[in-house]
Structure 1
Amino acid sequence: MDVLNKALLPRRKFIAHLGTLACGPLLSSCEFNVEPVTIGLYVWPGYEPLPLARTLGWLDEKQVRLVETGSASDSLKLLAAGRIDGAYLTLDKVLRARENGIPLSVLLVCDISAGADMLLVRPEIKTLAGIKGRRIGVEDGALGALMLYEVLRVAGLGMGDIRPVSLPGDHHVDAWEHGDIDVAVTSEPAATRILAMGANRLFDSRRTPDLILDVLEVRTPLLDRAHADALHHLVATHLRALRHINTDPDDASYRMAQHLKLPHEQVMAAFRGLVLPGLNDNIRLLAASPPELLKSVKVICATLCQAGLLHRQANVDGLLRPEYLPEPETS
C-alpha cells in the first residue's frame, strides 16, 4: 500500500500540538484532571489489538479504559446514552448514528472485510435461491441488514421471501447449534465455530468490496485539548499491538485466544478475510488529499439509501480526524 506524501506531516503535527502551544503562555501546567477515555468493543478479530495491548501491559488504563459489550447494538446503545466515549464499529453504523444525532468522528480504520463477513447455510441449501422460506439469523442494525440486502439482491429475492430471525451476534453459535436457524448472516469468530459444525459458506464480503469496514471512533466533543494525550495513546497503542500480531503471530495467538473464545491454533485463521491497515495505510485512508476512505463512504451511503437504511448522503464534515495518528513509518 502507498506511503504518505510527507508534505502532509507538518500540518498534522501542527494540529496535534496546538493545545500545547496555546496553553503555554497562560498556564503554569497543561495537565488536565480528566477521567479515562472509555472505548466500547465486542469480540471481533479486527478489534483485538487493544485487548491484546492490555494483556501485554501497553494500555495505560489511567488514560484509556475498555468496556466490553456483547454486540455492536450494545455499543451503540451505550454511545447514545453517553455512557462510553467511543467504540469500535463498522463504518455504516457510524454513518447511521451520525444521521440519528450522535456526533462521532473516525480516528482509525482497523480492518477492511474481504471475506470475514459471510452467509452460512445448512448443508442441504446449495444455492442463494435456496434460502427462500428459510429462517435467517441476522443481527439488528445496519451491517446485518446491509449484508442481507446484498444477498437478497444477488439472489433475486425480497424480504418477503425469507423468515428473518433477529439475533445479537454473540447468539449466532448457540442458535445454530440448537437448530433455531437455517442460515446465518455472521462474522468471525462465530463463523469459524459454525463452519466447524458443518455449515457451508454461500456468500461473503469478497463480493461486496468497499462496503464493510471497521473503524475506531469517538464522540466528536471529546476532541479537545484535555483528551488529546489519551487519544494519541489510544491510536498509537492499537497500532503497536497490530505490529505485534504481524511480527510475532505465535505469541499473539496464545494471548488473544481466551478473549476470542477460540483455541490458539484457530486464532490466526479468524483473521483470514480481513485486511488490517497499519499506520501508513491509515494515513492514506484518512489524511490523503482527498482521503481515500471517502470513496467507501460514498459506496456505503448509496447502498444504505437503496436499502432504506439511510435517508440521505452523509455529511462528512468532521467525520475523519487523522491528527491523532503517529508520524508515518519510513521503509
Structure 2
Amino acid sequence: MLTRRQFTKNLFALSALSSVPLLSSCEKTGALRIGIHPWVGYESLYLAEESGELPNKVKLVKTQGNAENLALLSTGEIDGGTFTVDEVLLARSQGIPLVIVMLFDISAGADQVLTKTGGPIKAGNTVAYEPSAVGTLLFYLALERQGLTPKDVFGVRLAPSYQLNSWLGGELDAAITYEPHASKLKAAGAKEWINSRQFPDTITDTLAVRADRLPQFELTLRELIKTHFKIIEAMRINPDNYLYRIASHQEITYNQAKQGLAGIILPSILRNYELLAERSGFRTRIAEINILMTEEKLIPQADNLENLILTDYLPVPAGA
C-alpha cells in the first residue's frame, strides 16, 4: 500500500525510552540503519537495494509505517529513517535529536480535498481529516481558502483508511485525504475540489538522522543521498522501466504507480538546497506545523527549531 502518514499521538508513551540508544550488532559493524516503509516517494532506496546500488554500509529496516519507524527510533534500533516533518518534530519532543538531511518528495496533487459536488467546503459541512499535524494544517488551509474557521464546520479526525466507510454511510460532506484512498473515495462518488498543488511545499517527506550518529556515518550518509539522486534521475529518463518495478514493490498496478508518482515532486539537488534554505517557504511551513502541533497537544511544547536542518550531506549541485 501507499500509506505513509500514521497517527502519532499515541507514541508519547515511548518517550521515556528515547534517550537511551541501544548498540546493536549493526551499529558495531558500522551499518547505517534506515527505517523505511512502503511509499512511492521512497522508492529510490528500494530500487537501489534491488539493483545492488545501495551503499554496503546501509541497512534498510523495512516497516509498515512511520508509527513503527518512530518506535524503532525511540529504542535505538534504527539511526534514522523516512519521516514527514510533523513526525520529526514529534521525535524531537521525545528527546531524539533528529536532523533533516534531505527531502525525498513534495506532495503535488497526491493530497486532496474531496467534496460531494466538487465545490468548496461550506459552513456547517462535516469534514474528515487525518489526525496528524499535516492533516490538521491542510484542514485549516482548506477552510481559510473559503474564509472559514474550524468553528464553522464539523471537523472529524479520521484516518484516510477509515474515511471510505463514513463516506458510504453518508456521514461526510468532505474529506481531506491522499492516494490511494482518494481514488477509492472518488469511485464512491466524491469529487476533487482542490489538492496539494494549491499549497506548495506544505507536505514533504524527509530523510532524517539522529544528530549523535552523523559523525559516525558521514561518508555512508553522503553515499546514500548521492545514490538517491542517481536513481531519481534514472527514473526521469526511463520512467516506464521503474514504474513496473515500483508497482511490483508496492503490490499495486502500473497505473496506480504512475498515478502515485504523478502526485508528487522529487526535488533535485538544487531544489533541495532551495527548499532547505534559511528563508524558504518550506521553513515557514515547518514553523506553522510546529505551532499547530503545540496547539493540538501533539507535542508538549514548541520546538525551538534549532539544528533541525543540515544540508552538509547533500551533493554539490552541477555547475556550482
Q: What TM-score do you get using the length of structure 1 for normalisation?
A: 0.74
Deviates more, 1:86-95 or 1:158-167: 158-167
Taking the TM superposition and a 5 Å limit, the aligned residue runs for 1:251-270 are 251-270=241-260
Q: Is 1:93 aligned with 2:82?
A: no
Q: Is 1:231 aligned with 2:221?
A: yes
Taking the TM superposition and a 5 Å limit, the aligned residue runs for 1:242-281 are 242-281=232-271
Q: Is 1:315 aligned with 2:308?
A: no
Deviation by residue 1:280-306 (Cα, 9 ceiling, x = unmatched): 3223444xxxx2575422333135426
Q: Is 1:158 aligned with 2:150?
A: yes
Structure 2 SS opposite 1:108? strand
Q: What TM-score do you get using the length of structure 2 for normalisation?
A: 0.76
- The whole-number CA distance in structure 2 between the counterparts of 1:293 and 1:75 is 30
- The whole-number CA distance in structure 2 between the counterparts of 1:227 and 1:267 is 32
1:302 to 277, 285, 288: 288
Q: Structure 1, unaligned stretches of length 5 or more?
A: 1-31
Taking the TM superposition and a 5 Å limit, the aligned residue runs for 1:1-331 are 33-60=28-55, 62-70=57-65, 72-121=66-115, 123=116, 126-129=119-122, 132-133=125-126, 136=128, 138-155=129-146, 156-158=148-150, 161-167=153-159, 171-172=161-162, 175=165, 179=169, 182=172, 183-224=174-215, 226-286=216-276, 291=277, 294-302=280-288, 304-305=290-291, 308-309=295-296, 314-330=303-319
Deviation by residue 1:246-300 (Cα, 9 ceiling, x = unmatched): 11100000000033343113322222242211223223444xxxx2575422333
2:186 is aligned with what amino acid? L
1:202 is aligned with what amino acid? W
Q: Which has the larger radius of gyration?
A: 1
Q: 1:242, CA displacement in angstroms?
A: 0.9
Q: Does the aligned pair in 1 maintain the 2:122–2:153 contact within 8 Å?
A: no
Structure 2 SS opposite 1:258? helix
Change (3 A) 1:221 1:306: closer
- The whole-number CA distance in structure 2 between the counterparts of 1:173 and 1:54 is 34
Deviation by residue 1:1-59 (Cα, 9 ceiling, x = unmatched): xxxxxxxxxxxxxxxxxxxxxxxxxxxxxxx9435222223333222211122222222
Q: 1:205, CA displacement in angstroms?
A: 1.6
Q: Structure 2, unaligned stretches of length 5 or more?
A: 1-26
Deviation by residue 1:88-118 (Cα, 9 ceiling, x = unmatched): 2222332343244321111111122232211
Q: Does the aligned pair in 1 maintain the 2:139–2:176 contact within 8 Å?
A: yes
